Structure 1
Amino acid sequence: MKKLLCGLFIGSSMLFATAQIEAPQPSPFSKVEQKVGLTDVTVEYSRPNMRGRTIYGDLVPYDKLWRTAANKNTMITFSDDVTVDGQTLKAGSYAIFTKPGATNWEVYFYTDTENWGVPRNWDENKIAAKTTIQAVNIPLTMETFTVMFNDLSNSGAVLGIIWENTYVPIPFTVPTDNKVSASIEKAMAGPSDADYFAAAVYYLDEGKDINKAVEWIDKAVEMTSNQPRFWYLRQQSLIHAKAGNKKQAIAAAKASLEGAKKAGNDDYIKMNTESLKEWGAM
């Protein structure tokens, strides 16, 4: 009996010791976080390697639903409502399933995110958005499955899936303009110089009402006239130039240049000098 108990104890101890071993996963977990405009976007997925295998059309068959990576399904989370191919995806989390093809991929945003692989019972009612994307052949080999964000702008980005020699770009848009416009409207009830400045620069960058941008940047500069800010004056020059007010643009650029020289800011010295040369003032 003692020998039996001793044997059981040794066996269980060995089993316990084995359970403590931590080894790398063949498809390690990854989490990518990206701010797009004012929207937070997060992708959680596992990253398999090629390991000498042919991927598309072999390991990953064409025209069959795929979990889009390995292990638990790839998941994307949006902090705001976004738009994919004209379809609204409400703020929240979605599984990304795909159906790779030789030339085109079908991409599905699926509301059920708790699947280890493809759902056993696929439910069309759980497809929040669907789009078809033309796959791009790339002149390099990506060994490890990768999800990335490209072509970032205030209004959107491209969610890129890349593996082997294939890149699949999935564009989406975010509601930045709606959020900023609401913020501007609220701030203008009692705006500070920083509010006027931020609103004016946003209108310039996004190609919105340039006359309103002129009004706001002039107020920001006026409110700080006792302590001129060369970065405010720089934007004032650009906004007036965009509005066709060359004389005012040159005056603002010269004032910005003078302030930048006093502050020893080489970047603003260079930018203002180049603008003044462009506008024939130097």
Structure 2
Amino acid sequence: MKKIIFTSFLLIQTLLINAQEKVQIRTTSASPASTFDQEVGSAKIKIAYSRPLVRGRKIFGELVPFDKLWRTGASDCTVITTSEDIYFGNSILKSGSYSIFSIPSVGEWTIIINTDITLHGETGYDEKKDVMRFKVPTEKSPYFYETFTIELNDINSKGEAFLKIFWENTMVKIPIKSKEDDMLLALIDQHIVKGKTQDANLLFQAANYYYSTNRDFKQAIKWLLDAEKLNPQNFHYPNLRQKIASENKDYASAIEAAKRAVSLADKEKMKKTIETLNNKIASWELLLKK
């Protein structure tokens, strides 16, 4: 009996020792890695970086000294990748991958774009591999950022955005823009402004682009009227025209265009669309009576 108890005791002790050997208490990363992708216009942009924490420390001017090179993050260097050429700051950044370094100062930062993406921290940094340097002013962040944060936001229909860097109470903003807007405007100039195209759909596309990017509404309406002359049976042309005219508060023109769109929608049995347009017409007619 004693032998059985002793054997059981040894077995339990062995299991406990084995269990203890397998237990591991791992601390979380002091600077968690982060990666995100964002479309800006036709460009696909990727940011890979590490995110250090404040942890009760004074950041800028102490942990991150002023007027000295900084990796703009932690661990390996922060990397930006763009699928095509973009405007970055006020210069063209060619497609490819680059490291982002910075020199924080009181009131402004120097932003540095470098071709070496293999660096850990600032060690091995070579200024000769810089492709651009420029200054951006600092701003007070909308709230306290415990975690170092990079965002790509404030994106608009022209393919413009801001790369924003936040930490502690500091924010810097770097303007970014896709070259897509330039290319589309060049096509409009080539085929419509100079080429005097007779392609109704191309005129519609140009008008729609002007509308979506909040450009010259009068010019957009002129192109739509030209498109309607070339293809009078297309519902989309007067329908876009009523949208633009109403936003421009030209309710008389909006009513005329909407009635034209209703007549074309009726042929296609677009009941819901007809109801919506008739409601708009009624509201605009009331506005004109005031």
What CA RMSD, in Å, does the superposition of the two structures yield over aligned residues? Answer: 3.9
Does residue 141 of the first structure (1) align with residue 144 of the second (2)? yes
TM-score, structure 1 as length reference: 0.74
Distance, in Å, in 2 between the alignment partners of 1:268 and 1:111 is: 55
Structural mapping, 1:256-271, within 5 Å: 256=261, 262-263=271-272
Alignment equivalent of 2:52, drawn from 40, 48, 55: 48
State the shift of 1:63 in Å: 1.2
Residues paired across the two proteins, number: 261
- Larger-gyration structure (1/2): 2
What is the identity, as a one-letter code, of the residue corresponding to 1:213? A
Match of residue 127, structure 1, among 126, 130, 145 = 130
Who is 2:242 aligned against? 237
1:8 maps to what in 2?
none
Q: Please list every run of 5 or more consecutive structure 2 residues that lacks an aligned counterpart in the other structure.
A: 1-17
1:135 match: secondary structure: strand
1:200-211 aligned at under 5 Å gives the runs 200-206=207-213
CA contact (8 A) 1:88 1:129 kept: no
| Correspondence 1:73-112 to 2 at 5 A | 73-112=77-116
Q: Please give the alpha-carbon distance, in whole angstroms, between the structure 1 residues aligned to 2:63 and 2:282.
A: 58
CA separation in 2, counterparts of 1:155 and 1:69?
26
2:105 partner SS: coil
8 Å contact 1:49–1:143 — kept in the other structure?
yes
Identity of aligned residues (%): 31
Give ranges in structure 1 of 5+ residues lacking alignment: 1-13
Partner of residue 163, structure 1: 167
Residue identity matched to 1:146: T
Distance 1:36 1:71, change over 3 A: same
Q: How many angstroms does 1:97 deviate by?
A: 0.2
Q: Contact 2:228–2:234 (CA<8 Å) still a contact in 1?
A: no
With normalisation by structure 2, the TM-score equals 0.72
Q: Deviations over 1:126-150 (max 9, x none)?
A: 2111111111123521111111123
**Residue pair 1:41, 1:79 contacting (<8 A) in 2 also:** yes
Aligned to 1:114: 118
> Could you tell me which residue of structure 1 aligns to residue 41 of structure 2?
37
- Residue 205 (structure 1) shift: 4.0
Partner of 2:52: helix, strand, or coil?
coil
Post-superposition Cα deviations, 1:80-125, rounded to whole Å, max 9, x if no partner, equal: 22223432211211111011112211110111111111142422x3
Shift, 1:158, TM fit: 1.1
